[in-house]
Each structure stands twice: as C-alpha cells, then as structure tokens.
C-alpha cells in the first residue's frame, strides 16, 4: 500500500472531467496537486475548489504536445512543491476522428490524434519518470486510455488503436519498473459525463486552426426509407433506462484511480459491464492460434515473450460504491 500523504501529483488535463476528479481525490489523500491543462479558462474554474477546501494546488497552462513547454512545466512543478511522485497522463481528445475509409480526412487530423493521445503521454513519461526514479521516494505513473483500448468500437480506428497502444505502453512500463518503488497503470474508463466534446473541439481548433466540423446526424430509417420512431430503451426488466446511471460522475473516476494507485494495480477499470466484450475478443484471439502441438524448446528460449510476473501481480479488484462528496 502506497502512502500518498504529503506527496505531489502532476495531472494533465487536470482542470476538467476525470482529470479534475483525479486531482480532487489526490488532494483528499493529503497530496499536493498540480493541474496542467491547455485551457486557462478551465484552470481558472477548477483552482478555486482546492482553495475553498484548503488543499495545496497549483495550475499550469500546458499543452502536452509542446515538449519545451512540458519541460518548463516539470521545473515549475518541482519549484512549487519539490519532488513530483505521481504522474497522471490524462489529457486527451475524444473527437475529430478522421474518416479513413472514405478518404475524408486531412493529414493534420492524423498527426493531431497521435500527438495528443499518444505522444502527449510519452512526453509526460520521458520528462517525469527519470525525475521520479532519481528522488527515490517512490511513485506511480498512470495514463488514461479507455475501455475502447480493450474492446474497439466501430468507427474510431485512430482513437481506439492509440488507446490500445497506451495500455501496452503502460504494461511495458510496469515491466521495466518491476522491483522498483515506482508503479505504472493503464486507466481504462467506460463512459463518464465530462466536458470532452467541448475541450476536444477547442483543441482541434488550436491545433488545426479550423473549427471542427459537426458530425452529420442521420435519423435512423427502416428498409423503405421511412424514419423510425424513437422508442426509449428499456432494461432487462422492462424499466426505462436512466442514462445518468450509465455515464458516471468524473469524481468516481478520481476515487477509482487513487484506489488503484494505493493497491498497486496495473489496470484500473471502472465498468464491469465490459467484461463480456473482452471475453468475446480474447476468445477470438485464442481460437486464432493454430490447433497444433507447441514447438519443443520454444518456451525455454523465448521465455520473455511468453511470461512476465506483472500479470500475476494484478490482484482481483473488489467492488466499489461511489459516494459523492462536495
């Protein structure tokens, strides 16, 4: 169990949504908190919460794709609170998916997705991890991926593959860090109610210099082309579904992340509902292995390709009941 009290967390995308939820949960643990976000307006809205609770916090206006600014932000964080122990690479965008099948995309959109949703995370790791290892007091690196990095959703090839890449990156990091007092985890949330649409739009405009195109809404039609009347969906017992219970409060994400860090988790998940999706994918992958006997000697020579202890270190995560605090 890692004691977070008195330690410092640096959280990107920390001024809104799940990043803000993570920052609040870290502050409640007695941590010093740095929230880094490219939107000064969001920082201005978020920082008073820490002040009103008497929690030590500092905001830095940072675009995680800007490496020089990121290096300066790391120095500013250390100048403010001393050593940084926990890095949360949470900044990301969720829209602007290029339509790669129809050719309706611009190369800039492709670069933007990789720059923010993958290189932004790498920048944080490359800048902070050597500093965290150097001070020797221990720590954790968490990167926000998504459940769609576990089970891809049709129509989001860039988003989903970069999220999957993020998960693998964090597993690699956990392997490298095994045996040290620094841990690593991939945070894979399901749906949460956040400002992702708004903030992604602002980032797309900043990066491309153009306002993002609004996706066209096509009302569903039957086979004869007539519009289908909307019927509110019902649950397994025939009761209307309460959407507010499906898309969750970002403060819950924060508490789950902090619990995951304290437990030493490698994977931090929020929605058990995705388990059947993972089983479907995993079983397809298992069936894809040819039905043949193993090659003699292979398991001895390629040991590192077939086994790593980090997977055994992930313990079963108990249930969690979220209680909203102010």
Ligand X SMILES: NC(=O)c1ccc[n+]([C@@H]2O[C@H](COP(=O)([O-])OP(=O)(O)OC[C@H]3O[C@@H](n4cnc5c(N)ncnc54)[C@H](O)[C@@H]3O)[C@@H](O)[C@H]2O)c1
Residues that bind ligand X (CB under 6 A): 12-13, 15-19, 37-39, 42, 62-65, 90-94, 116, 120, 144, 146, 189, 191-192, 194-196, 199, 203, 250
Nearer Cβ to ligand X, position 196 or 310?
196
Least distance in Å: CB of 244 to ligand X? 13
Which has the closest alpha carbon to 138: 180, 77, 172? 180
Per the CB < 8 A criterion, the answer to whether 266 and 313 are in contact is yes
CB of 42 to ligand X, least distance (A): 5
Distance of closest approach, residue 54 Cβ to ligand X, in angstroms? 23
The residue from 70, 140, 159, 207 that is catalytic is 159
Nearer to ligand X, 19 or 139 (CB): 19
**CA–CA separation, 57 and 74 (whole Å):** 15
Instruction: Return the number of the residue (136 or 215) whose C-beta is nearest ligand X.
Output: 215
159 is catalytic: yes
Those residues with Cβ within 8 angstroms of residue 206's Cβ, 6 or more apart along the chain or in another chain: 38, 63
* CB 271, min distance to ligand X, A: 10
Q: How far apart are CA 199 and CA 92, in angstroms?
A: 9
Name the residue with tokens 């086994």.
Answer: 307
Question: What is the Cα–Cα distance from 28 to 254, expressed in whole angstroms?
Answer: 10
Residue 62 or 268: which CB sits closer to ligand X? 62
Strand order in the sheet with 139-144: 57-61, 32-37, 8-12, 86-89, 139-144, 182-188, 267-269
Which residues are tagged catalytic?
A: 159
């Amino acid at each position: 169990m890692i004691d977070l009290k008195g330690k410092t967390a640096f959280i990107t995308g920390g001024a809104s949504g799940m990043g803000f939820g993570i920052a609040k949960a870290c502050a409640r643990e007695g941590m010093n908190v740095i929230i880094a976000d490219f939107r000064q307006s969001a920082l201005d809205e978020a920082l008073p919460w820490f002040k009103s609770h008497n929690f030590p916090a500092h905001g830095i206006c940072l675009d995680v794709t800007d490496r020089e600014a990121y290096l300066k932000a790391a120095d500013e964080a250390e100048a403010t609170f001393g050593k940084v122990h926990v890095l949360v690479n949470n900044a990301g965008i969720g829209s602007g998916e290029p339509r790669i099948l129809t050719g309706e995309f611009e190369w800039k959109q492709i670069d933007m997705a990789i720059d923010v949703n993958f290189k932004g995370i790498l920048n944080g790791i490359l800048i902070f991890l050597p500093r965290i290892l150097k001070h020797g007091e221990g720590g954790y690196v968490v990167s926000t991926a998504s459940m769609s990095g576990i089970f891809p959703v049709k129509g989001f090839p860039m988003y989903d593959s970069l999220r999957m890449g993020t998960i693998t990156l964090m597993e690699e990091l956990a392997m490298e860090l095994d045996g040290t007092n620094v841990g690593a985890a991939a945070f894979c949330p399901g749906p949460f109610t956040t400002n992702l649409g708004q903030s992604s739009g602002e980032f797309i405009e900043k990066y491309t210099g153009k306002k993002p195109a609004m996706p066209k809404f096509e009302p569903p039609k039957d086979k004869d082309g007539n519009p289908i009347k909307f019927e509110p969906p019902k649950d397994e017992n025939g009761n209307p579904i309460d959407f507010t219970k499906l898309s969750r409060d970002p403060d819950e994400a924060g508490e789950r992340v902090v619990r995951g860090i304290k437990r030493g988790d490698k994977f931090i998940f929020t929605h058990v509902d995705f388990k059947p999706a993972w089983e479907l994918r995993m079983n397809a992958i298992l069936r894809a292995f040819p039905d043949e006997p193993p090659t003699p000697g292979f398991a001895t020579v390629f040991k590192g390709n077939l086994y790593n202890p980090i997977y055994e270190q992930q313990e079963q995560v108990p249930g969690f009941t979220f209680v909203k605090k102010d």
